[in-house]
Chains A and B, each alone.
Chain A
Amino acid sequence: AQTVTQSQPEMSVQEAETVTLSCTYDTSESDYYLFWYKQPPSRQMILVIRQEAYKQQNATENRFSVNFQKAAKSFSLKISDSQLGDAAMYFCAYRGGDDKIIFGKGTRLHILP
């Protein structure tokens, strides 16, 4: 079974600085999808960024980018120019051929003013 591991339960970053959240996963599949979701205190799950495993190029969405290392099964999220509104729980998620979407335990990100 696939697993997703986020090894950083909490992180803090100064406003306007850059932070990287880690995610590793375990799979025997070659074609799959990876996602980062943000969950603010409102509880709403918001898609931040996504990556298809067969694409070599790392995905970017404005201030958010990923470092996808397929061989290492690593999918880290980089947030540049951190803003107070970025404070939230961040979840890494994996979707494989069985259509299940599996989540990591999350990283709580604090933004320091």
Chain B
Amino acid sequence: NAGVTQTPKFRILKIGQSMTLQCTQDMNHNYMYWYRQDPGMGLKLIYYSVGAGITDKGEVPNGYNVSRSTTEDFPLRLELAAPSQTSVYFCASRRQGSGTSTEAFFGQGTRLTVV
């Protein structure tokens, strides 16, 4: 089972460059999330989506954009990369509904360095 797949796993970006972090899931989950994790810190929510065509801001959305054209994919776009965006990025998904069985499943993360 693939689960949640993130690409690339590592990337070095120059200041001012742009890139897209890819996230795809094969579990038919409606909900998807993007987080960033700075060294020694917890996960901060960047954007999330409750279904195709619907996205909403999280705690730290500035400098990022997302789109959700399909259930499977939830790419995160960085425009004009800055050193402050150096972090590990995690994508997660979960199925719709209530109950504790709707826990989030995470990808392996993308380590991004902006120099």
Contact = CB atoms under 8 A, between A and B. Distances in A.
Q: Which of B88, B102, B103, B108 has the most CB of A within 10 A?
A: B103
Interface residues of A, number: 21
A32 B108 CA distance: 26
Nearest to A43: B109
B64 to A, nearest CB: 16
A104 B35 CA distance: 13
Interface of A: 4, 6, 33, 35, 43-45, 47, 50-52, 59, 91, 99-106
Contacts of A6: 42
Contacts of B102: 33
A102 B104 CA distance: 12
B58 interface: yes
Given A33-B100, A43-B108, A99-B50, 6 more contacts: A35-B103, A47-B104, A91-B42, A91-B43, A101-B104, A106-B42
Contacts, number: 48
B74 interface: no
Contacts of A51: 100
A26 to B, nearest CB: 14
A50 B92 contact: no
Contacts of B44: 103
B103 A47 contact: yes
A73 B47 CA distance: 26
B100 A105 contact: no
B50 A44 contact: no
A53 B98 CA distance: 12
B45 interface: yes
Interface in B43-65: 43-45, 48, 50, 58-59
Interface string B78-114: 0000000000101010000001101110101100000
